[in-house]
Structure 1
Amino acid sequence: MTDGQQPEVRWAPLPPAPKRPGRVWLIVGLSAFALAIVVAFLVFVLPIGFAPEPGPTATPSASKSPSPSPTQTPTPTPTSTAGPTPVPTAPPSQDPDAEAFAARVSPWLDDAVTGLEIAAASSGEDAASVIEPMRQDAERLSDTPPPTSIAAEWSTSVSTYLTSLNDLQQAYRSGADVSGAERATLEALQSLRDLAGL
Structure 2
Amino acid sequence: MTDEPQPELRWAPLEPKPRNRGRVWLIIGLSVLALLVVAALLFFLLPRDGTPAPGASTSPTATTTPTQTPSALPSASPDPTAPVDTPPPVEDPSLPAFRDRVGVWLESAPVGLDIVSEGEGDLESVLNAMQEDAQRLAESLPPSSIAQEWSTTTSEYLSRLDSLRSAVTSGSGVDGAVDAARTTANDLRRIAGF
Give the equivalent residue in structure 2 for 1:140: 136
Question: In the alignment, does 2:110 pair up with 1:109?
Answer: no
Of residues 118, 123, 127 in structure 1, which corresponds to 2:115? 118
Which letter does structure 2 place at the counterpart of 1:115?
G
Give the equivalent residue in structure 1 for 2:156: 160
Which letter does structure 2 place at the counterpart of 1:107?
V
Q: Secondary structure at the match of 1:145?
A: coil
Looking at structure 1, the residues matched to 83 and 132 of structure 2 have their Cα atoms a distance apart, in angstroms, of 41
Cα 1:196/1:66, change in 2 over 3 Å: same
State the Cα distance separating 1:131 from its structure 2 match. Answer: 0.9
Contact conserved, 1:119 with 1:128, CA < 8 A, in 2?
no
Cα deviations by residue, 1:93-112 (Å, 9 ceiling, x for unpaired):
22111111111111211222
Give the equivalent residue in structure 1 for 2:50: none
Which letter does structure 1 place at the counterpart of 2:137?
L
Looking at structure 1, the residues matched to 106 and 54 of structure 2 have their Cα atoms a distance apart, in angstroms, of 57
Cα 1:71/1:143, change in 2 over 3 Å: same
Cα 1:80/1:148, change in 2 over 3 Å: same
Contact conserved, 2:117 with 2:175, CA < 8 A, in 1?
no
Cα 1:87/1:174, change in 2 over 3 Å: closer
Which letter does structure 2 place at the counterpart of 1:67?
A
Give the equivalent residue in structure 2 for 1:67: 62
State the Cα distance separating 1:194 from its structure 2 match. Answer: 0.9
Cα 1:165/1:58, change in 2 over 3 Å: farther
State the Cα distance separating 1:67 from its structure 2 match. Answer: 2.9
Of residues 62, 82, 97 in structure 2, which corresponds to 1:100? 97
Identity %: 42
| Alignment coverage as a number of residue pairs | 140
Q: TM-score, normalised by structure 1?
A: 0.57
State the Cα distance separating 1:119 from its structure 2 match. Answer: 2.1
Contact conserved, 1:171 with 1:177, CA < 8 A, in 2?
yes
